[in-house]
Amino acid sequence: QVQLVESGGRLVQAGGSLRLSCASSGLTFNNYHISWFRQAPGKEREFVAGISWSGSSTYYADSVKGRFTISRDNAKNTVSLQMNSLKPDDTAVYYCAAEIARGAVRSDYRGYVYWGQGTQVTVSS
């Protein structure tokens, strides 16, 4: 019933830009905080960016601050991640995830109840 679908991942050169999108269905979208996580081969799943249910608050991992921007459009039930100045270390599968909006956005993936299938981002040197 609930579905999150990521799109936009592709191969891009270092220093380039990419915009990921997350489309949702089957849930009351503005009842959820939405975050992006990523996982590279051999590494743990990592919080990238999060946005509160209303879009009023955003959070970023230190590794992406100043380069990535998260936004949401509650009328369209979508979340975007604008990624600039990409680095090879950004290479990973990127996942969109939803948590029930009780308090602040959490960075721990264990708090998220719905997940997309992921989209591959590859940054070449």
**Chain center to CA of 33:** 11
Please give the pLDDT value at position 68: 98
DSSP 14-45: TT--EEEEEEEESS-GGGEEEEEEEE-TTS--
Please give the pLDDT value at position 125: 94
| Segment 57-99, tens digit of pLDDT | 999 999 999 999 999 999 999 999 999 999 999 999 999 999 9
